[in-house]
Amino acid sequence: MFVFVFSISAAQSQTTLESLQCHFTWDLDRSRPKLLRLTHKMEDFSKEKGNRWLGHIYNLWGFIQYKLGLNEEANSLFQKATEALNKLRKADEGPWLVVNYGNLAWLHHHLGDQAESQAYLSKDDLHPEICAEKAWTLMFFGEDKKLVVDYYKKAARMQPKMVDWNTSYVIWLKKVKNFSDTRLDPDLLEKMRQAKERDPKNLYLAALYLEQRANKRENIRDEVCELAENVSSNRSNCSNSGMWALLNLYIEHISVDEAVKLAEKVLKEHPDVRYLKKFVALCYRWRIIYKSSSSPEQSMVDRAIALHEELLSLYPHSSLKREIDLATIYAKSHHSKAKAEQIFQKLLKNEPAEPEDKQMLYNKYANHLYFNLNDSHRSTQYHMKALYFCLQKPFIHDL
């Protein structure tokens, strides 16, 4: 039963707030640059047509805005989360709102509006909806990815009919096993097959399933091409994570040139989708930097440069990664090689604050020195700088 608690003392209110299950009590802490980069992810996710996690997206996005000091934006996003969650469940009240109302209670508490805060306080049992939303949040904030698996598993076990929760459980089970045990797990493959049958339109799951079968040395080429044809004919399949997983299949099992063609084709069909421009740019970069069998044509380099320059304005809070990628492409240009060194020198002069960002910059510049400038001595120096920050905390940069 979903119950609100009214007319409680200030001390009781504080105790109740601290016991809530919501983003404000989950010990979520990130630096300002990381929070700003996460806003890009949330915005892209929110633009996906038919995204069934929209309520969770707005909840996390609202919390991020609060952490950035944007209280009005946070409140607006929390309200959008309420609407999205109710629309999905076709009802106006229910346990799916526990986390959302907890967020609103904390926000109004911090704003000094205690009456409004108390109006949102609710009994905070560990509903499956809380498990699912906590798992979704820990995907971006949690250090221990096994917790993501555990919470999705709990949610799916308590409500087996929630397809999204079971799909997410299987996806993250595979991710954790990728890091902890690279050997093929037959039980995992069967779980993925069953999840795919229950969630046939999930492009990300379909791509991961094919990847797992490829690890078993199955020939998946025809099925990868068929999956790509389905994406071109069905807009709802063109999800952020799913599209990138499909392009990776193309790069690994067909060719990087075909991946570029597919990315350009999908972008032409959906020219206003920001993350598709990012994927086209990344495919070009992969083709230019890592395919050594043939030198890229200047027209391809120019197209890649134009896309990466556009990404700087589309993703302003991820500018370091974008500028480094741009520099690596300029290094392969026939007439603008010097531009690469100019970009790197600017970035080194305005050294980033985050240790993992420093590690990424030093590592990429060291590679540039070695492979493009044949300066092994300075390359070693910068690799040593990168190693220093790697020992502190290894980086995993976003796309």
CA distance 87 to 126: 22
Catalogue the long-range contacts made by 38-46 (C-beta closer than 8 Å, 24 or more residues apart). Answer: 38/64, 38/140, 39/64, 39/65, 39/68, 39/317, 40/315, 40/317, 40/318, 41/140, 41/398, 43/274, 44/240, 44/274, 44/275, 45/240
pLDDT beyond 70 at 154 = yes
Mean pLDDT of all residues belonging to the chain: 90
pLDDT digits (tens, 9 = 90+) for 379-395: 999 999 999 887 765 55
Nearest to 257 by CA among 224, 228, 230, 294: 294
Q: What is the pLDDT of residue 127?
A: 87
pLDDT beyond 60 at 33 = yes
pLDDT digits (tens, 9 = 90+) for 85-125: 999 999 988 889 999 999 999 999 999 999 899 888 855 66
Q: What is the pLDDT of residue 10?
A: 58
Question: Domain ranges in the chain?
Answer: 1-142, 313-399
Quote the percentage of the chain above a pLDDT of 70.
90
Q: What is the pLDDT of residue 13?
A: 64
pLDDT beyond 70 at 11 = no
The dotted CATH code for 1-142 is: 1.25.40.10
Nearest to 274 by CA among 309, 232, 314: 314
Distances (CA, A) of 175 to 138, 182, 240: 14, 10, 17
Q: What is the pLDDT of residue 179?
A: 73
Q: What is the pLDDT of residue 247?
A: 97
pLDDT digits (tens, 9 = 90+) for 249-258: 999 999 999 9
